[in-house]
Amino acid sequence: LQADRSFKQSFKIFAGPKNPDVLELYGLEETISYGWFAPIAKGLTWVLHFFYGIIGNYGIAIICLTVLVRGCLLPFGRQQAMNAARMQELSPEIKKINEKYKDDLTKRSEAQRELFRKNNYNPLAGCLPMFLQLPIFVGLYRALSVDIELRLAPLIPGVQWCSNLAAPDQMFRWDGFMPAFFAGTNGFLGPYFNLLPLFSVGLMIVHQKLFAPPPTDEQQEMQMKMMKYMMVVFGFMFFRVPAGLCLYFITSSLWAVGERKLLPKPKPKAAKTVETAPQKFTSTKRASKENSLLAKIQEAIDQKQNPQPQQANGAARKRERDQQRKKKKKK
């Protein structure tokens, strides 16, 4: 600024709670970030407050919200259970294929795809419930993180443990006898020992051990071992998540175990075997309906790598004609 000149700037300060209804009156509703799945997060927040208005406890309201979500996903969970049971029925045939084509990876993959096609089995069908829960998990995480109503809301009134559902449960302090880089104030796990994240991961490991289909080859066995190690890593990653989110994980895992144990199991069917090496898939309407997406992609790759004889002969004749034209031009 030049001498004898002044500069004025106006500021507006909001000193109040980050309540969406209050912020909307001042046009500040965008200060609350619900993340990528904002509509889902806002909807879950509304349902959570609805249950709280009836029950009067946010911990029980989160449990009711989880039961409602898992109930809506029950048909997909049932399909996942049937898919896992079907995989167990196909395991003997898959082992036979692995032994028969143990030295030929291409034929082994084609034989497995043919086996899945004949038995109407889609390996990706069991992943659908997991993908459907991912937006709900992210939305609930954001809802629990920004909802001021959960702050200082206890799981059990009058008990110091888990007295704030928007923060870790903080069972006891352990920074006095643990290394500072591990359990200090700025440590990796924080100064408090949290029980609910460990309980959540333990239930996930139990669920995986009880209901995961048996491995059919060394690769799948290695993948299952890696999943167990990943569960331990998740235990460290989720050690400082809000206690309300841990309640969601615990309730969801208990629901999954009860769903598999209490609901009637699908009746086993005899698996159709593959006697010889499978032929290339044909592009019929029936095959297009039965083949999985991976089979279609693999079919396109095989066609590019191994062109049909007619296409190969046509390409050879075209090259011969081009060579003859070049010779005529030189003459």
Quick one: 253 and 291 in the same domain? no
The 3-state DSSP class for residue 173 equals strand
CA dist 108 and 105 (Å) reads 5
pLDDT value at residue 303: 58
Quick one: 111 and 258 in the same domain? yes
Residue 112 lies in a domain: yes
Residue 129 lies in a domain: yes
- Provide the domain limits for residue 317: 285-323
Quick one: 67 and 105 in the same domain? yes
Quick one: 105 and 253 in the same domain? yes
Residue 211 lies in a domain: no
Quick one: 165 and 106 in the same domain? yes
Quick one: 92 and 39 in the same domain? yes
**Cβ distance 193 to 172 under 8 Å?**
yes
Quick one: 145 and 76 in the same domain? yes
pLDDT digits (tens, 9 = 90+) for 307-323: 544 444 555 566 677 77
What's the count of helices (H) and strands (E) in the chain, helices before strands? 13, 2
pLDDT value at residue 270: 53
* Rg of the Cα atoms in the chain: 29
DSSP character at residue 220: H
Within 10 Å of residue 83's Cβ, how many Cβ atoms? 20
Quick one: 245 and 98 in the same domain? yes
Q: Which residue has the tokens 């619900």?
A: 34
**Cβ distance 235 to 201 under 8 Å?**
yes
Q: Is 6 left (phi over 0), alpha (psi -120 to 50) or beta?
A: beta
Determine the residue type at 116: F
pLDDT digits (tens, 9 = 90+) for 266-324: 555 555 555 544 444 443 444 444 445 555 655 665 555 455 444 445 555 666 777 77
Nearest to 271 by CA among 96, 118, 125: 118
Quick one: 289 and 253 in the same domain? no
Residues of the chain short of pLDDT 70, as ranges, are: 1, 123-126, 128-129, 212-217, 219-220, 263-319, 326-331
Residue 83 lies in a domain: yes
pTM, 2 dp: 0.68
pLDDT digits (tens, 9 = 90+) for 78-102: 777 777 777 777 777 877 877 777 7
Domain tally, the chain = 2
Residue 81 lies in a domain: yes
Query: Which two tokens mark 296?
Result: 């279609």
CB burial of residue 168 (10 Å; 0-12, 13-18, 19+): buried
Quick one: 81 and 24 in the same domain? yes
Residue 303 lies in a domain: yes
The 3-state DSSP class for residue 27 equals coil
Residue 8 lies in a domain: no
Residue 230 lies in a domain: no
Quick one: 34 and 106 in the same domain? yes
